[in-house]
Each structure stands twice: as C-alpha cells, then as structure tokens.
Amino acid sequence: MCTAATYRTKDFYFGRTLDYEFSYGDEVTVTPRNYAFTFRHMGTVTSHYAIIGMAYVVADYPLYYDAINEKGLGMAGLNFVGNAVYQQVETGRDNVAQFEFVPWILSQCATVAEAREHLEKMNLVGTPFSEQLPSAQLHWIIADKDGAIVVECMEDGLHVYDDPAGVLTNNPPFPQQMFQLNNYMHLSPRQPENAFSRDLPLQTYSRGMGALGLPGDLSSASRFAKVAFTRLHAVSGESEEESVSQFFHILGSVEQQRGCCEVAEGKYEITIYTSCCNATRGIYYYTTYDNHQITAVDMHREDLDGAKLVHYPLCKSENIYPQN
C-alpha cells in the first residue's frame, strides 16, 4: 500500500510513501533527454524531457514508481489491486503498456493540461515487461503546481478525475475516497465548542480535540482522510528546508511501522521509502525505513543531454549524529 501527496509553498512539491513487505532494489534514477525509450507499441523516442524518480532498473530500463520531469510535472503509480483492468491493443490509438505509463507521460508532457490531451488518445494496455515482471495493478496521480488528476483504468474503461485533495492512496476507487471525506467535514484544527447540549457542562479536556475522529489506522481509506486533512491544514515557511521538512511530516502521518500491518505469517508491510520531489527545481529527496536522514539527488547536477541512465542506490543505514 502507498500514499501520494502534493504540497506547495514557494515551490511545488510532490512525493509518496512506498509501503510493502520487500524491496525490488529501488534506486533514484535520472533519465537524460537523449536516452532512447523504446515503447512496446509506440516505437522509440530518442529526444524527450529529462526525468528523475525512484525506479527498479531492469535491463537498462527504468521501471518508475514515482518521478518528476524537468518541466515540473510529477507522477506516481499506487496499488489498485482488484480494480485495475487494462485494455486490449487497439488500432488507431496510442497503445501504452502499464509499465511505460510514467515515462510516456513525463517524457512529453510539461503540465497536467498536456497530460489530459495525451490521455484522450491513449489506450492503457496490459502488456507485461517480462514473464518475471507481469503488469502491476495500479492507478496514478499526475500533478503540477496548478493541480492534480487521478487516472484509473477499470473494467468499464479509462477514468480521469480532478483531485482537489491532492492525495491518492489505494482502494476503493477515487470517487469513493473523495465521497468518504464527507464523514469528516466537521473536523477542524481548532478546539471544539460544546454543540452536544447546553444542559451538559461539557468541556475540552485536551489539546487537539478539533480533529477527534480523524482515522489513525493503516487502511487506504483512513490514510486518504488522514493525509488529506494533514496536507490541507499544514503550515510552513517557504524556505527549501522548511518546505521539505513539512512535506516529510505530512507523509509521516501515515508511515507504516514494522509489526503493525501483517500481510503473511511473520511478514509485515513497512514504509520502505518516502519521497519528496521539489518539482520546480528538479531535486529528489528521500528517506528510508532505516535511515531518517534526508538524502537528495539533484537532476541538474547530471548531464541532462546525455543518453545513459544515472542511478543511485538508496542510503539505507541510519546516520546518527553524536552531539557530544
């Protein structure tokens, strides 16, 4: 399971948690402008926008989980098991395999508006990367500084939704997630007043009671509500340090700790990594389960006119700073 969110101060930020019981060997990966993307049904593209994100690199191909491009557009794929149904290859359409969807959009779209135009012509198909790596059941959030959309491919076709909450988790489908926020419309960061009865001397007995009833479990519906509330009420300064710190705190509200989400006997889902991309500046920040120090990779420190992937293994060991 996973959670993605957007955030804006002076710059635009985009990121996600990746929650799972094991890692494939994720690496921060920069795809320069002249790397040749060979799409299964759409030919080869040799010139495109540069991309940075988290990927599993197989046979020199970046299978991106989440990424931004040099124009400030971000995209992430999150589990949508049981609901995702991909289409059949169709003549006259842009047939894009599920695993190619992130680079297909980020390589050629600078804004959400441009992504919408490409989605109108696109057919999202279930062609697998390989026998060992079948198509994953996902849905996606695509965002820029002006807004976000969610893309879900289901049995009844491809759906594109505006995402005013700036958040995506997993099941149920996005319209249901948004509808369930109605259950929390009474919540507030302010202390509540007694509306129960004038005849009872009820009083607030603790700070934070304005958000009493905000979910705290690890289900996707609860994480959606929790991070939406946290994001929409988050306050920070506009410096890079303050903005990045606040973004990690927003997603930290739904982190998964080992032992709290059992997926099989003795196996637990954890937050393997959390990302925060400054999409305005092209910087990819991340933390991992065992390393809370924020690590950064700046795409503009690489040769973006190159033709070879650049990838960095994750810094996974805790770096404790001795103060005395």
Query: Rounded distance, CA 252 to CA 166, Å?
Result: 16
Query: Rounded distance, CA 260 to CA 229, Å?
Result: 22
Catalytic residue among 2, 109, 276, 277, which? 2
Query: Rounded distance, CA 181 to CA 229, Å?
Result: 9
Query: How many secondary structure helices (H) and strands (E) does the chain include?
Result: 5, 20
User: Measuring CA to CA, which residue among 248, 242, 296 is closest to residue 271?
Assistant: 248
CA atoms in the 13 A half-sphere facing the CB of 23: 18
Q: Which amino acid is at 18?
A: L
Give CA 233 to chain center in angstroms: 19
Residue 39 in contact with residue 310, Cβ under 8 Å? no
Look up 2 and say whether it is catalytic: yes
Residue 47 in contact with residue 32, Cβ under 8 Å? no
Torsion angle (degrees, nearest 10) of CA 23, 148, 51, 154? 60
Give CA 140 to chain center in angstroms: 8
Which residues carry out catalysis?
A: 2
